[in-house]
A and B are shown apart, each in its own frame.
Chain A
Amino acid sequence: MKLVTTVILTLLLLTVESVAVKYLGFSVSRIDVTIAIVAFLSLRANMVEGAFSSFAVGYLLDLMSGRPTGLYTFLAVFTFLIGRLAASLVEVRSALLFVIFTMAADLGHGLLAVFFSWLTSRDAAFGSTLSALPMQVALTGTAALCLYPLFRKIDSGGERAEVGLLR
């Protein structure tokens, strides 16, 4: 996906999510639509383009959080790099595998977010965030399943030729 497309898609999805969460009344759980995008980028984009796009996605998530700290920008690029590493080992070419891949990325992203937040704010209670993580991962997986055809349509022809080492 091109950088501009990624930015527009991220903006749209974050806006929809923000309003949806308001209506659905989730108190802590969220749908990590940005992780679905980063996971897709790590499967399809080349290194520099993907890193730039992930940076942009993370920056937008940071900005929409209301208190940008840089954490989510860093985590998006980090998740992209780890995702790329994982994508060199496993072949992800179906919707189901993409969902599993995204859920794993979201789990790692969520744990790292809690860890780094805890690191700078030790007495804050993150138990509730951690306990809501399984629901968040499940919701993100569902979102990934719905978004996968859209991502493929937007990025038609962008599939990498090389396959993973594990099939």
Chain B
Amino acid sequence: MLSFLKRYRELIIVAALLLYPFASFLTRGHLGRDPNLVDRAVLWITSPLQKALIWTFDGIGAAWNGYVALRGVQAENGALREENRRLRAEANELAEVRAQNERLKRMLAYTESTPGQQIPARVLGVNPVATLLSLRIDRGEDDGIRRGMPVVTPDGVVGQVQRATGQYADVVLVTDANSKLAVKVQRSRVRATACGKGDNKALQLENALRTEDLQEGDQVVTSGTDGVFPPGLAVGKITSLHRRNYGMVQTAEIAPAVDMTKLEEVLVIRTAAPLGTTIIPQARRGAGQTP
């Protein structure tokens, strides 16, 4: 036995390294898992790195706007160079401050107008895997964020917290292919399901009966029946309808209310009890369930 192990040691090690994650993926992969000690340690290392990089990029951007871009003007304008540079830098700075102020005012107004407690968070980075659309924010368990909490902006729904550690959390976007949320059409009150298409550009409206009243341009909002997202949050607008002459249901394409590629700040809605999840376990998706 020992000689067998010794002889095939290399093969056994490689086979274990290959088959353990594969078996883990096939058996428990669709359920996900809570971060263990090693996961937390790695996230604890990488998240501040992301934060530092964002600061660096922001600094470079500010330097570019405030100085480098003005060098061309400097060459062209001779005597007015100093004053021009100062004014342009101030203008840029003020424009940036004003834009930030507007965003924060809108977030504050939204926070005050909606029930429940919102936790503002900054987007740190996007996950490096193309088959899952998620991003990382700079608030986590220490701020009261838990798995399943909905994430929004004043413009509409963003996604749901998939994993929270000390000071950071990962948010799966509603546009992710595994995401589903209960919605209704604002005009006709038709209930349906909005599913992510996995491309960040559109959602698919499903489970609406063919006879229901849907029109292009209709606003779609959360219905609240999934027990995750509060009712009335903007999801998007119907851009195209697909209604056949047969079958029970019709489908439609929804343009998301929030541009997921340009998110900078988000609000996490703190709920009293950890919520369920609208991210459907992959193995069960074939059953065609609705939230």
Cβ–Cβ contact A27 & B124, under 8 A: no
Closest to B286 in A: A122
Cβ–Cβ contact B199 & A28, under 8 A: yes
Cβ–Cβ contact A71 & B286, under 8 A: no
Q: Which B residues lie within 8 Å of A59 (CB)? A: 21
Cβ–Cβ contact A124 & B162, under 8 A: no
Taking a contact as CB atoms closer than 8 A, the residue among B22, B46, B171 that contacts A15 in the complex is B46
Interface residues on A, range: 35 or more
Taking a contact as CB atoms closer than 8 A, the residue among B17, B32, B201, B285 that contacts A68 in the complex is B32
> A interface, by DSSP: helix, strand, loop or mixed?
helix
Q: Which A residues lie within 8 Å of B45 (CB)? A: 11
Cβ–Cβ contact B197 & A125, under 8 A: yes
Q: Given A17-B128, A18-B126, A30-B129 in contact, is the A81-B14 Cβ separation under 8 Å?
A: yes
Interchain CA distance A59-B39 in the complex, whole Å? 9
Cβ–Cβ contact B285 & A15, under 8 A: no
Cβ of A70 within 8 Å of any chain B Cβ, yes or no, is yes
Cβ of B115 within 8 Å of any chain A Cβ, yes or no, is no
- Give the distance to chain B from A145, nearest Cβ to Cβ, in Å: 19
Q: How many residues of B contact A (CB 8 A)?
A: 62
Interchain CA distance A114-B39 in the complex, whole Å? 24
Cβ of A83 within 8 Å of any chain B Cβ, yes or no, is no
Closest to A131 in B: B199
Cβ–Cβ contact B200 & A28, under 8 A: yes
Cβ of A85 within 8 Å of any chain B Cβ, yes or no, is no
In chain B, positions 44-59 with a C-beta closer than 8 Å to chain A are 45-46, 49-50, 53-54, 57
Most chain A CB inside 10 Å of its own CB: which residue of B29, B50, B200, B201: B29
Cβ–Cβ contact A65 & B22, under 8 A: no
Cβ of B123 within 8 Å of any chain A Cβ, yes or no, is yes
Interchain CA distance A43-B22 in the complex, whole Å? 23
Q: Which A residues lie within 8 Å of B30 (CB)? A: 69, 120-121
Q: Given A66-B136, A74-B22 in contact, is the A19-B199 Cβ separation under 8 Å?
A: no
In chain A, positions 19-51 with a C-beta closer than 8 Å to chain B are 19, 21-23, 25-34, 47-48, 51
Cβ–Cβ contact B201 & A18, under 8 A: no
Interchain CA distance A16-B46 in the complex, whole Å? 10
Cβ–Cβ contact B17 & A51, under 8 A: yes
Most chain B CB inside 10 Å of its own CB: which residue of A15, A25, A27, A67: A67
Q: Given A15-B46, A30-B129, A124-B178 in contact, is the A25-B262 Cβ separation under 8 Å?
A: yes
B residues adjacent to A (C-beta < 8 A): 10, 13-14, 17-18, 20-26, 28-30, 32-33, 39, 42-43, 45-46, 49-50, 53-54, 57, 123-136, 162-163, 170-172, 177-178, 197-201, 204, 260-262, 282-283, 285-286, 288
User: A27-B199, A129-B131 known; 15 other A-B pairs, CB under 8 Å?
Assistant: A11-B45, A11-B46, A18-B127, A25-B261, A47-B10, A48-B10, A48-B13, A59-B21, A61-B129, A63-B39, A66-B162, A70-B23, A110-B130, A123-B288, A124-B282
